Structure 1
């Protein structure tokens, strides 16, 4: 007896199109599912490396120090040996070897050597003196100066091995070109510094060097090594004096023990950001903790020095980054849940479409004795053939497109997609054929009555939705924990809305059918009747559309809230579209020159005086702002930063009217008070209180009319209005002011997006909205295809009764219109309600402003009309286009052919 044809091979040969379509759908879904966790890991990894690279070197390096005077106390020779190059170099290698792989060192920027703990005052009279006295110097024997600098004059200092002792009278040193220029040092100059005992130490400068990469760790952990700075004498009258550095040869380190200040050996380990990955973050944090207070510190003290002290600001950098990341992750999880839900609904619709299309075939098998389990098993084998390769290809494509990130989460996500896609058709078929059904039973929206089980399930979902929304409003997302229930809140709201709309859907159809039934034409009545006859399973496409529209609206509100927060923060930071600041008075002609710059619409000159004395014996700093009332009032009104009327600031008689911050108003208590100095005592009266003002980003302020102050007070700041003004034009106009700085609001706003964590999360939201829109379109197409055969047969019968092709096309388009309108109006409404419900619980501050979020307070979702209305209108347009295309294809077929096929469709 000949064996029966294999089921899977036969089905795939007879219907290859649906299998290929399913493979492509699973491939795309698997790709998105696998790419999401890797994309998150990728932008978090880039963010980690960016934060470590952007941190100032003295915060990011690991500093290890040992007090040379306590090293082997009582044995001077051994203390000197501890500072010599062989010992320091050996300890440097031990330190680098002790670091784990997760915290690799940048050996090129790491440094070690010996230095004086406090600067020592030079005794030479030829050195330039400031008001604070003679220059002071830090003496350092940092290794590898030759590898990190270029010799511009003379030669590098050198010593003979072991020749320098604490008693050596003269040593050689180099200085950087910046130090040489500022302190008038040349090759051959000799600088004398006092010793603890005996004659001063003579340091002969043998060479001038120019640092390479001066902003990196080697030169910038201790910036005085490359650039001299000012130090200030003690109160009450601080005066500046120079502080420079003398770079001794490493072999001269023992002589530092004789200088009149303490000496330490140091090792500065610069971390290598290129070797950091987000998965290593917990291990890096643990390593730093172990170095500062744990087993690694104990081990290094045993190998290097018992007095070894270890400190680093890298843990603070990592904590700040982790706080930004933890605050952003729950917001990103909302987008992931939204797209995942829409994709799941589309996969369900695919399985439902296939089960509905093959219902007669499977019913025949059941009537001939096939079990539900046997049918489900055959369907599972049939579906697995396209699903498993599609999932594997999608995962492989994600690994190639997103090369960075963990592999296991991507594999698990793709496996979950494959499992869900394989189980959809067998479970749907088993559910439909679990018991025999009479031929011709109607299952439409008008007659369908929800069962008790469905009612209980819907009520359970409603309770979960209320719990999710309540938890989100109370707990928020700022704690950094990704809670599945909270992240699914927008999706759950969409689910409840879809179920509610399906229950209410028949009512407007019945009301709309009443007036249409009295009209002579049959197309309108038939379209509404056909819309009411649609299957009760229409909840799936409606659910997909509502969740997609809700996700798009939520994503749009996130992006809109972020943009609004950045715009407000940049406005507060600059005070206008642009500003020019100087430490001294600006030229009187500058304001006029700036007004002539292209794009400038207004200029507000401001005189600023910091540390205003309110004469109330309190130390809180207050900034005095002397302004032109007209231009400053216009600026405050445009920006919304403490708007006021110009006439209220002009002096009529008596005390000078003032606008004050709340703290200053409370200190003056609404009375007339004499303050100063501003070229003399000023009697002022606080008439207006505002929490902000354009000229001051933060802190307390007092604003007065510049014309009311005694004496002349030229502006030190220009606040410029004009969104299209160019930096280059302003800088050219400001050159007359010398050291004036130009700041643009647009540039300040761009600074808020420098972190890859922020930009990566924003890209995730944009891609999530695009993916949701794609799945929504696919849901529309599937909902039309689900009833395509039945519509074809129905239209063929109506054509035999005299229905024209044009009327047939109108009928199919109008039949799809009610559900599309329901999805569009419902989606916009649900998106708006979702934003209102969830806005109090979602803080976008870290996503918008990173570590500067505290300066602006809480940043909430902001309703975006474009993201609410545009997708909704797109749903109606796409649904009409799909229906029109289907109608065009159906009406081109011959009626005889369609009727000959039979009535079973």
Structure 2
């Protein structure tokens, strides 16, 4: 056979331009999605790491190197020189060099200087003394004050001439917050005690405002910008407080600190550059921090600063906490990634298989005329590569533009894998089908062909692998399987095994229905079953694509629904209803009526909550809520939070002397049992209570130690409502606060729910699952369309022949619909059933708490994966509707055209 030539490829492309264009679109779209995924994941993970470092604040993430003042054995001049900017700057440069990559320092926020380790009390009487104690100050000589602050009043401090340990006067600046709290003005003089000499006079020459108050320069030591009201140690009486503030000296004045008894120390603060933080470097970042704290980096720092230098930071703890979050969320994201990748790969293989099946006659003829198998596959690979390679490159370029950040290597590899698979699908399928030269191929009807032994062995092997993956996931959980890709493939393997099982079962109902259909009066039913049974075995791949796509979409939709349910439940536990209004004491009269008239409010339940109640003889603190049983029971049933029969809570008719029935938490019930016990209220009255029902949660009280009683049995002071529980939609916090009056606090369930995403990694995982659901549904539709379009010419020719025999248009429409329904019903029902089974099988090993809630709300529990009916039924229904719609549309379109052309096309085929 002749070698591959460009002319031959051009002829083939001109012969079937539509097929080439469809392949190009499919490859470009799939390559774009594949290339965009790793870059999007990098972006989410990097943003999550930056957010984690930012939320930890520079006080924890800055690497601080500290060294004592130069030794007393040195001459005074040498000690003073060691505190001046030239020496500190030179050491600062060497400290930055000791920081190993991938950790990168931010020179703009890093700093160095000298600070008094202890605070010194200043006796100046004009400084406020909250408890009669004098204020204390720390002297700080930090570099580059002018570059990080704006002078609000006065000027920056400076050193007029050389400053030594014997200097008695220096200048300083303070921040506006320090000046406001300590009543400092420009020109104020503070007297800082010195050792064996008069106090050091510190004159304030300027009041400054930080340019980036949350940056590491100011926030590593918050005292620089914000004074603190510190509590004096000791004392058994009332606590004593004093002001603690910082005075900002010029760096050249650092030697003056040697005259104090506050133990001045040198420091070099290294702020990490958040722009250089990447999640894929997490292990290297932790290694770099460890090397500085107790490794080679510490030795380098001590060699250039002081043998007694120490390095401290909590950055390693922040990185470790983020690593745990990544380890918990990563496997969940891998499940979605593997599902979408498998569906895309199956559709690409399906496209190549359908193309080979469409050209079966042509390829059989070429082989019969002497074409070698190697030459044939080479030509097919060349003509596919001419289309797929540019399309893959176009998809890669689109992905790089759409997601500008992230590693490019993984994106290129993903797009290249898609392109190679697209190029190889058609040649490999043709090589398998035409490895033996035949004049004509045998018919391979689905109902007639028996699976080979090799196929049986392969299917059994896959079944064993899937069962092992599911069992491993159920035992260890998906969050405990980091790095185990087989576990992440468990949902896909379940779908694939289910598809293979359904393919084996597919011929059975067709055989069973053939005889009853043959006895029908019309020919449409019998003919449609015969046509469905004569479907080529190559239709196995479309069914596999459909079932895998539907399973992936159902699983992803259940994850998204589970995340939403977990957040709703956590928000309900935090609020107790759709809205909650808590007063500072009793609410104003008429507040409930005004709130009830607020737009969006459907119902209002009044509650009297006493958080100071004391139960039993030991006066254990509990929260007691007085409610109206009927209204409160209706609320509990509506929100699904500890529902109970209202009759259990009605006060007895015997008056206040009879014990009040109470709804109690499990901890209170274990302590007091079912016998009556006294409860002392905040107003001094005492009521007898008997526990009648036990519930883990209740809307009125957010804690775990509570009692709920009928407010009719309480005194007049305890009956006044302190809390309003609201149900409704689109509640407005501002309007509710205005209606409640006073200093009432308004909490909305919707607002609380919106706070539960505290990391871009969580929102990124949600977006990945949303994309997985959309991709699964899209590829399911695409697989169905490819299968239907492949059979369209043959069906059109069939209808044309049958119309010459008297088949009406309505009968033709029914024929095509009934012919398509068996496989569509199998895919739809199998997809819904497989999705349900997958969620049920894997739910014990999947907890959505990490992806749904922040770490502070992770203790709510009950966030296992559950089936979502909409995710199961909607894609399956779409498959059925699309199948019927395409079949009906094809019948209508064929009916409008003449029969001659279709008959010729059928004969030519």
Alpha-carbon deviation of 1:558? 0.6
Alpha-carbon deviation of 1:240? 4.3
Match of 1:53 in 2: 54
Normalised TM-score (structure 1): 0.90
Counterpart-to-counterpart distance in 2, 1:553 and 1:378: 40
Match of 2:452 in 1: 451
Structure 1's 427 and 560: CA in aligned 2 closer, same or farther, altered over 3 A?
same
Structure 1's 745 and 193: CA in aligned 2 closer, same or farther, altered over 3 A?
farther
Counterpart-to-counterpart distance in 1, 2:290 and 2:67: 19
Equivalent position to 2:735, from 729, 732, 735: 729
Match of 1:493 in 2: 494
Counterpart-to-counterpart distance in 2, 1:697 and 1:145: 48
Counterpart-to-counterpart distance in 2, 1:252 and 1:701: 61
Structure 1's 205 and 821: CA in aligned 2 closer, same or farther, altered over 3 A?
same
Structure 1's 823 and 168: CA in aligned 2 closer, same or farther, altered over 3 A?
same
Counterpart-to-counterpart distance in 2, 1:469 and 1:86: 65
Contact 2:64–2:269, Cα closer than 8 Å, also in 1: yes
Contact 2:113–2:266, Cα closer than 8 Å, also in 1: yes
Alpha-carbon deviation of 1:901? 4.9
Structure 1's 797 and 628: CA in aligned 2 closer, same or farther, altered over 3 A?
closer
Secondary structure of 2:142's counterpart equals coil
Match of 1:373 in 2: 374
1:333-344 alignment runs, 5 A limit: 333-344=334-345
Counterpart-to-counterpart distance in 1, 2:296 and 2:195: 38
Aligned residues: 897
Match of 1:173 in 2: 172
Counterpart-to-counterpart distance in 2, 1:231 and 1:118: 14
Alpha-carbon deviation of 1:848? 0.9
Alpha-carbon deviation of 1:833? 1.0
**Residues 230-262 of structure 1: CA distance to partner in whole angstroms, max 9, x if unpaired?**
323435335141323132313333333443433
**Residues 426-474 of structure 1: CA distance to partner in whole angstroms, max 9, x if unpaired?**
2211221233557473311221222222222221111111111111111
Counterpart-to-counterpart distance in 2, 1:289 and 1:180: 40
Alpha-carbon deviation of 1:563? 0.6
Contact 1:674–1:681, Cα closer than 8 Å, also in 2: no
Alpha-carbon deviation of 1:567? 1.1
Match of 1:832 in 2: 836
Structure 1's 110 and 902: CA in aligned 2 closer, same or farther, altered over 3 A?
closer
Alpha-carbon deviation of 1:604? 4.2
In the alignment, is residue 841 of structure 1 matched against residue 840 of structure 2? no
Alpha-carbon deviation of 1:586? 6.3
Match of 1:277 in 2: 278
Alpha-carbon deviation of 1:41? 1.2
Counterpart-to-counterpart distance in 2, 1:731 and 1:464: 59
Alpha-carbon deviation of 1:657? 6.4
Counterpart-to-counterpart distance in 2, 1:3 and 1:495: 39
Contact 1:372–1:434, Cα closer than 8 Å, also in 2: yes
Match of 1:152 in 2: 152
Counterpart-to-counterpart distance in 2, 1:654 and 1:115: 69
Counterpart-to-counterpart distance in 2, 1:679 and 1:132: 36
In the alignment, is residue 187 of structure 1 matched against residue 186 of structure 2? yes
Contact 2:679–2:687, Cα closer than 8 Å, also in 1: yes
Secondary structure of 2:82's counterpart equals helix
Match of 2:524 in 1: 523
Counterpart-to-counterpart distance in 2, 1:669 and 1:135: 55
Counterpart-to-counterpart distance in 2, 1:252 and 1:419: 69
Contact 2:67–2:267, Cα closer than 8 Å, also in 1: yes
Alpha-carbon deviation of 1:560? 0.4
Secondary structure of 2:66's counterpart equals strand
Match of 1:602 in 2: 604
Alpha-carbon deviation of 1:607? 4.5
1:309-320 alignment runs, 5 A limit: 309-320=310-321
Counterpart-to-counterpart distance in 1, 2:828 and 2:889: 20
Contact 1:660–1:686, Cα closer than 8 Å, also in 2: no
Counterpart-to-counterpart distance in 1, 2:223 and 2:741: 30
Counterpart-to-counterpart distance in 1, 2:263 and 2:196: 14
Match of 2:507 in 1: 506
Structure 1's 74 and 720: CA in aligned 2 closer, same or farther, altered over 3 A?
farther
Equivalent position to 1:868, from 868, 872, 897: 872
Contact 2:613–2:679, Cα closer than 8 Å, also in 1: no
Structure 1's 899 and 126: CA in aligned 2 closer, same or farther, altered over 3 A?
closer
**Residues 532-555 of structure 1: CA distance to partner in whole angstroms, max 9, x if unpaired?**
221122211111111111111011
Contact 1:26–1:421, Cα closer than 8 Å, also in 2: yes
Counterpart-to-counterpart distance in 2, 1:667 and 1:81: 69
Structure 1's 658 and 205: CA in aligned 2 closer, same or farther, altered over 3 A?
farther
Counterpart-to-counterpart distance in 2, 1:604 and 1:582: 12
Match of 2:403 in 1: 402
Match of 1:393 in 2: 394
Counterpart-to-counterpart distance in 2, 1:286 and 1:158: 41
Match of 1:349 in 2: 350
Equivalent position to 2:808, from 804, 809, 812: 804
Match of 2:859 in 1: 855
In the alignment, is residue 243 of structure 1 matched against residue 251 of structure 2? no
Contact 2:607–2:700, Cα closer than 8 Å, also in 1: no
Structure 1's 648 and 858: CA in aligned 2 closer, same or farther, altered over 3 A?
closer
Structure 1's 884 and 589: CA in aligned 2 closer, same or farther, altered over 3 A?
closer
1:476-491 alignment runs, 5 A limit: 476-479=477-480, 481-491=482-492
Equivalent position to 2:696, from 667, 691, 698: 691
Contact 1:140–1:245, Cα closer than 8 Å, also in 2: no
Counterpart-to-counterpart distance in 2, 1:875 and 1:725: 39
Alpha-carbon deviation of 1:675? 7.4
Counterpart-to-counterpart distance in 1, 2:259 and 2:617: 50
In the alignment, is residue 331 of structure 1 matched against residue 332 of structure 2? yes
Secondary structure of 2:820's counterpart equals helix
Contact 1:132–1:239, Cα closer than 8 Å, also in 2: no
Structure 1's 669 and 297: CA in aligned 2 closer, same or farther, altered over 3 A?
farther
Structure 1's 663 and 462: CA in aligned 2 closer, same or farther, altered over 3 A?
same
Structure 1's 607 and 51: CA in aligned 2 closer, same or farther, altered over 3 A?
same
Contact 2:667–2:704, Cα closer than 8 Å, also in 1: no
Of 492-501 and 642-651, deviating more is: 642-651
Structure 1's 766 and 515: CA in aligned 2 closer, same or farther, altered over 3 A?
same
Match of 1:37 in 2: 38
Match of 1:887 in 2: 891
Match of 1:215 in 2: 214
Secondary structure of 1:378's counterpart equals helix
In the alignment, is residue 14 of structure 1 matched against residue 20 of structure 2? no
Contact 1:555–1:765, Cα closer than 8 Å, also in 2: yes
Secondary structure of 2:318's counterpart equals helix
Contact 1:580–1:719, Cα closer than 8 Å, also in 2: yes
Secondary structure of 2:202's counterpart equals strand
Structure 1's 133 and 249: CA in aligned 2 closer, same or farther, altered over 3 A?
closer
Counterpart-to-counterpart distance in 1, 2:3 and 2:426: 27
Structure 1's 869 and 625: CA in aligned 2 closer, same or farther, altered over 3 A?
same
Match of 1:815 in 2: 819
In the alignment, is residue 382 of structure 1 matched against residue 405 of structure 2? no
Secondary structure of 1:404's counterpart equals coil
Structure 1's 32 and 133: CA in aligned 2 closer, same or farther, altered over 3 A?
same
Match of 1:764 in 2: 768
Contact 1:672–1:683, Cα closer than 8 Å, also in 2: no
What residue ranges of structure 1 are gaps of 5+ in the alignment? none
Secondary structure of 1:207's counterpart equals strand
Alpha-carbon deviation of 1:598? 3.0
Secondary structure of 1:151's counterpart equals strand
Secondary structure of 2:303's counterpart equals helix
Secondary structure of 1:306's counterpart equals coil
Counterpart-to-counterpart distance in 1, 2:305 and 2:614: 53
Normalised TM-score (structure 2): 0.90
Secondary structure of 2:289's counterpart equals helix
Alpha-carbon deviation of 1:837? 0.7
Structure 1's 56 and 608: CA in aligned 2 closer, same or farther, altered over 3 A?
farther
Match of 1:93 in 2: 93
Counterpart-to-counterpart distance in 1, 2:223 and 2:770: 46
Structure 1's 827 and 671: CA in aligned 2 closer, same or farther, altered over 3 A?
same
Match of 1:261 in 2: 262
